[in-house]
Homo-oligomer: A and B are copies of this chain.
Amino acid sequence: MFDLKRYLAEKRQVVNVALDRLCGDADSPFRIVQAMRYSLMAGGKRLRPILCIAAAEAVGGDATHVLMPACALEMIHTYSLIHDDLPAMDNDELRRGRPTNHIQFDEATALLAGDALLTMAFEVLTEGAEQGSQDPARRIRIIREIAAAAGYRGMIEGQMRDLAAEGLVLDAASLEAMHSLKTGALIRASVAVGAISGGADTDRIHALLCYAGRIGLAFQVTDDLLNVEGDSQVMGKATGTDKGRGKSTYPALMGLQDSKRFSHRLIQEALAAIAEFDDRSEPLRAIAEYILHRKR
């Protein structure tokens, strides 16, 4: 029986050690480094880097080759959260139970810390190139994949749509399109990058992209469900907030039962997409199940 809890803890540890090394000194006198580390080392789930590593392993790749791309993905995710929380965007003062970056530091510093993490992601993607740890052409393909996913046709367009949707009721297609860009693009890039790094062929990359698309959306649906039904003690954050804000959510759109059925169906489709993969894809399967049943 595959022990997902242990797998996640181990990978999280590897990623945290690498991020800690990459992102300046813990006792740096530079305020920009302090602000970058404050958000980057705040103890996220590390879902994107772990998916990236698990996808590389699933296609028989080397987990060490994919560690830098995995870290880059987490830096991009973190930058997007810092900018999302700014007063000009969602104006949030708390994240993971701590003051958001611009509350802890100041708006200008938070803005620049986000910029710096985004920039650093691409520096990290060139890390070790001189030692030849990764084929340069493959490395460039990885950089291209990540930049496209994080850019104006991907994550950033998702944020634009999320902002534009404020106070509106989205239909199912628009809600899915928004999530598919805002969070889906980087999640798909995470498995794609793992697969590319592991030397996967086009068919396998395609299957993994399908897997990632489904679990990414399922993650959003369960996020919405937890906001209605979750235990705020377990989650470490308030519930019921979506309704108060008039946010478009799956429970609001299709009701609780149909939202649950929808998330189940998405996970079944994710598992079907990688059904022909061998035992090395066990972590990806377990992660899909975990997304369905998570309590936080």
List residues of chain A with CB under 8 Å of any chain B CB. Answer: 24, 30-33, 36, 79, 83, 86-89, 106-109, 111-112, 114-116, 118-120, 122-123, 125-126, 129, 136-137, 139-141, 143-144, 147-148, 150-152, 156-157, 159-160, 163-164
Contacts and interface: CB of A to CB of B under 8 A. Distances in A.
B86 A156 contact: no
Centre residue among A86, A143, A163 by max chain B CB count within 10 A: A143
18 contacts: A31-B160, A32-B152, A79-B115, A86-B111, A88-B108, A88-B111, A112-B159, A112-B160, A119-B152, A119-B156, A123-B144, A123-B147, A123-B151, A126-B141, A126-B143, A126-B144, A129-B140, A136-B139
| Majority-rule SS of A interface residues | helix
A115 B156 contact: yes
A83 B115 contact: yes
Nearest to A88: B107
Contacts of A106: 88
Nearest to A112: B156
Given A141-B129, A151-B116, A32 B157 contact: yes
Given A129-B141, A137-B136, A32 B156 contact: yes
A112 B118 CA distance: 12
A237 to B, nearest CB: 23
A157 B119 contact: no
A109 B163 CA distance: 9
A160 B120 contact: no
Nearest to A86: B111
A290 to B, nearest CB: 30
Contacts of A119: 118, 147, 150-152, 156
A144 B115 contact: no
B143 A136 contact: no
B111 A125 contact: no
